């Protein structure tokens, strides 16, 4: 089994976090780094928009600044994600042809998501993959939003608790996943230029009825990835 790197980062700005993830991807693509699991959080609060989306089309940038939120583009795809100070994010860089991953985009997503489901289970949350009815709800929604799960994404009931997106190169993949730890102040949703069903998400602290710190989530993620990806 190939050796893996674990990187636990202190709180950083959105720009720094996205730069670090993209740099990890680029260096791995060149063959100069081991597969890496990185776990991190955000300061200040940050709104990210998927690669290829126009920030100004989705977000009122001036209003976001007034409310104290940074706005930045992710190197991965997907829609809009609100990262508050309590949120925990993981990024994973590995080879697309790693023998532990099944072939194909969605099967690979699902395999990685199993590790995050296991992490949530360690915390006492009964999470699982999105079901068919959840996918139909997503298909009927025109907004670009984290709250509607895709086939490979993680839900509790029908509500999304983790948002994931991926970038692929010649040999490497980068997967970013955001665990919704604490509800956001509803005021922040006023920055959206499109309705995208915020009510369809749920947070870790809502489900457990208590505060959950970075260290506890970090430990759970490490256990989940060790169990499911043997890293």
Q: Would you please indicate which residues are annotated as catalytic (active-site) residues? A: 145
Tokens of residue 223, six digits: 């256990």
Tokens of residue 25, six digits: 């991807």
Instruction: Find out whether 14 and 48 touch, Cβ atoms under 8 Å.
Output: yes
44 vs 52: CA distance, rounded Å: 24
Instruction: Find out whether 74 and 48 touch, Cβ atoms under 8 Å.
Output: yes
> Which positions ≥6 away from 22 have C-beta within 8 Å?
75, 174
CA distances from 97 to 23, 133, 181 (A): 20, 31, 32
β partners of residue 128: 155
Strand 128-129 relative to strand 154-156: parallel, antiparallel, unpaired? antiparallel
């Amino acid at each position: 089994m190939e050796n893996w790197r674990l990187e636990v980062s202190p709180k950083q700005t959105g720009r720094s976090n996205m730069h670090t993830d993209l740099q990890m991807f680029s260096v791995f693509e060149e063959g100069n780094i081991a597969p890496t699991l990185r776990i991190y959080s955000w300061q200040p609060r940050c709104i990210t928009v998927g690669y290829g989306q126009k920030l100004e089309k989705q977000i009122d940038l001036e209003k976001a600044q007034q409310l104290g939120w940074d706005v930045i583009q992710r190197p991965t795809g997907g829609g809009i994600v609100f990262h508050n100070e309590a949120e925990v994010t993981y990024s994973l860089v590995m080879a697309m042809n790693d023998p532990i991953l099944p072939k194909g985009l969605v099967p690979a997503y699902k395999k990685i998501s199993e590790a995050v489901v296991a992490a949530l289970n360690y915390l006492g949350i009964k999470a699982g993959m999105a079901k068919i009815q959840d996918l139909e709800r997503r298909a009927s929604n025109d907004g670009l939003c984290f709250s509607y799960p895709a086939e490979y994404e993680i839900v509790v009931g029908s509500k999304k608790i983790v948002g994931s997106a991926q970038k692929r190169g010649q040999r490497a993949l980068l997967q970013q996943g955001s665990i919704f730890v604490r509800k956001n102040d509803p005021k922040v949703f006023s920055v959206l230029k499109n309705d995208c069903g915020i009510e369809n998400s749920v947070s870790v602290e809502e489900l457990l009825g208590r505060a959950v710190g970075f260290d506890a989530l970090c430990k759970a993620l490490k256990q989940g990835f060790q169990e499911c990806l043997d890293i």
